[in-house]
Amino acid sequence: MAGVLPTIPTVPFPRRPPGTSGAWERARWWYESGLGWPTAPGTPLRLRTGVRFDVLDVPAEAGHAALARSAPGFPVALRGGRMLLLVAAGGADELPGLLDWLEWGSLTLDLRAIGAGGQVEAPLPPEPGPAGLPPTAKDRDGSQGAAVWLRPPEPGGEVEASLPTLSALGGAGTAPDLARLVHTLATQCHRIRLSRTAR
């Protein structure tokens, strides 16, 4: 029988186990629709850096010490033993020059920046707290390896206005100064390095 194609049985697409994708789909919606942050395809959910923000990645110990000395308000996440501090887009490109200007450029520091073209694991959005209380995270220390928000971003507001930026680049005046933050982080990273080599 010329011209008749054989019937190929259709196989349904594999189904995801119940409950595994729902949280990530809600998270993707929260980031993309609630915050306007671009995400990368796939699971675990990843946020694209260099578009709305860059990330400074430091040891959690250094990050906690720096946060105690810096202005509150900008988003910060934990992932295992690392702290991810969101800074204004373009901050990653400024990091090497800032470290040189602050006279930290000649030292090896456990401080890196993730900017344009990069990605970071997206923490699940915080769960709403009781009326009048801030949102909560299930695992606030990030010890299980998954990223969690220590200071979550606020949907519905301009998160970028709170991100550390270089004052010379026209910061809003309320955002923390990126140079001061980098100096504090570099100091803390160096102290950790010295304490480990002294043991």
pLDDT of residue 157: 66
Q: Say what the pLDDT of residue 6 is.
A: 53
Closest by CA to 90, choosing from 116, 112, 120, 122, is 116
Does residue 58 contact residue 111 with C-beta atoms inside 8 Å? yes
Bridge partners of 121?
46
pTM of structure: 0.79
What does each of the 199 residues of the chain score in pLDDT, given as a tens digit?
555 555 555 544 433 444 445 788 889 999 999 899 999 998 889 999 999 999 999 999 999 998 887 766 799 999 999 999 999 999 999 999 999 999 998 989 999 999 999 999 999 888 765 444 344 444 444 445 789 999 999 876 678 888 998 864 544 556 788 999 999 999 999 999 888 887 6
- The one-letter amino acid at 41: P
The reported pLDDT for the residue numbered 199 is: 66
Partners of 53 in the β-ladder: 88
Give the closest residue to 79 by CA, choosing from 20, 122, 34: 122
pLDDT at position 143, please? 45
